[in-house]
Copies of this chain bind each other. A is one copy, B any other.
Amino acid sequence: MSKKTVDKLSIFALGGVGEIGKNMYVVQYANDIVVIDCGLKFPEEDMLGIDIVIPDISYLLENRDKVRGIIITHGHEDHIGGLSYVLRQLNVPIYATKLTLGLIETKLREAGLLGDTKRNLINSESELVLGCMTASFFKTNHSIPDSVGVCIATPEGNVVHTGDFKFDQTPVNEQYADIHRMAELGSKGVLALLSDSTNAERPGYTGSERSVGTEIEDVFRKAKQRVIIATFASNIHRIQQVIDAAEATKRKVTVIGRSMVNVVSIAGELGYLRIPEGMLIEPEEINKMAADRVVVLSTGSQGEPMSALTRMARSTHRKVDILPGDTVIIAATPIPGNERYVGRTVDELMRIGAHVIYGPGSITGVHVSGHGSQEELKLMLNLMKPKYFIPIHGEYRMLRQHAILAESVGIPKENIFVVDNGDVVEVLDGAARKGSKVTAGNILIDGLGVGDVGNIVLRDRKLLSQDGILVVVVTLSKQDGAILSGPDIISRGFVYVRESEGLLDEANRIVASTLKRLMSENVNEWASLKTHVKDALGRFLYEQTKRRPMILPIIMEV
């Protein structure tokens, strides 16, 4: 008797729970898989030399025939940045709204994948049939226009994924959220809600974009010289506010930084930015203009060492100088880990004599988060009234806080699933339980290498970064094993060689005497020679310096 597999619904994350970034969620029913988002994240501090991190998609590759497509909720890197890697291995249709698709296409063009990718434009009215499932959408407020949440209708019921969201009652450019459609979904019945936990630790409500616009205009009006404003390139609302404030205060805007120039151009073309005729000027033109007629819109709000703002602060930018008395606005919150970079950039700007507006948006008024705070998360939960709740987008502690919020609005504790990447929540006959685990993890990208840097390489980089390396080379005779040349010791990153000749000479003597002793004892397998040299030298160096450099013995034979 053959065992028949029972069809059931599976929901899981391949990225984006227990971490911020590389978002990727999977909804599967029987032989149909729908993927939501395909992001990247930036490396953690122990991932030395790594450029970016994307999700491990082994599960999708093993089930490639079942994947009906990838739905993208909005155009931020942590939702689209993995596409150019994933599509190379898994060429499935992608679905995205107009601006999101515009931003994706730029990436695919750069990666040479534009022609081969099945790109599908959706809007909030679209309905997609994806195997046995149907996807529909609702508009949300976020720090980039054209953001949507997704409802996947499955044979077990509706699975709703909010994407990133907040509730802004006075948004920029009338990008209202589809609160009625959310309510309607809730009335019809939501089996499972996956909701954004980024700000689950923040009490209250996130401020409205409108108050930010007013504040920025106020700063522009009071500034007696140039205004330089740095924000995330992807924050198109903020960019619109800068343009509006410039118009109101009779200033012109010049755009600096590659990603900012890109985004302004795409969003402008697609109609997501209202840019008055003649508003944008070239960087070269600002020197001919009165200082109080100029706004410089720039990247670098995270104090990144190579960004335009940091280069301007260090007076190494080719086109724009910041002068004493200029006003610099940093309209962004530092991402955890970047505080010191931002602080350093502020220091440098102040040393030039600039007036700098920085710090928490709650104090400066020139920035608000794109993510809803606790009251908004509760509102979403109350609108959707889900039977089951899976907090997503966040470190573990944020997911936990979101779970506490869900309990507080009446979702039973046993119906809340705080999961790790790869943990499957299975639903059968309306009942959910934690199921098995699928492969999930980090794929590290270093230069052109995708996944070729793993724990061993990272461990070596860590070691090298702490105390450097000593290479010990010796040439032995093939015939009798005698030392023909060396031992020579070359070090890098260990000590300043010119001032440590004595130490290195002594190290050399220790290696030589160790080798001679071993030979006199007829130890001549290379592995054994190397181990003994490593041990003796390591011990000596630790005694002398309390450092443990990597020691690399190399034996040549002639």
Contacts and interface: CB of A to CB of B under 8 A. Distances in A.
Interface of A: 18, 44-45, 48-49, 201, 203, 336-337, 339-340, 343, 346-347, 350-351, 356, 358-359, 363, 395-397, 400, 446-449, 452-454, 456-458, 460-469, 471, 473, 475, 484-486, 488, 490, 492-496, 499-500, 544-547, 550, 552, 554, 556-558
A496 B453 contact: yes
Given A49-B467, A356-B397, 15 more contacts: A49-B465, A49-B493, A49-B547, A203-B363, A336-B340, A337-B337, A449-B545, A461-B464, A461-B465, A461-B466, A462-B465, A464-B468, A485-B556, A488-B554, A488-B556
A552 B452 contact: no
Copies of this chain per assembly: 2
Contact of A340 (B44, B346, B347, B557): B44
A448 B542 CA distance: 9
Among A473, A488, A546, the most chain B Cβ lie within 10 Å of the Cβ of A473
Contacts of A356: 397
A394 to B, nearest CB: 10
B492 A469 contact: yes
A139 B430 CA distance: 68
A48 B467 CA distance: 8
Given A461-B468, A485-B557, A339 B336 contact: yes
B496 A396 contact: no
Nearest to A44: B340
Contacts of A201: 359
Contact of A492 (B347, B400, B552): B552
A448 B499 CA distance: 15
Nearest to A499: B452
Given A48-B465, A552-B492, A350 B400 contact: yes
A106 B107 CA distance: 59
Nearest to A486: B556
7 shortest A-B CB distances, which residue pairs?
Answer: A447-B546, A465-B465, A464-B464, A460-B493, A347-B396, A49-B466, A461-B493
B456 A496 contact: yes
Contacts of A45: 45, 340
A201 to B, nearest CB: 7
5 contacts: A201-B359, A203-B363, A448-B545, A460-B492, A463-B493
Contacts of A546: 447-448
B449 A547 contact: yes
Nearest to A541: B447
B469 A464 contact: yes
A454 B496 contact: yes
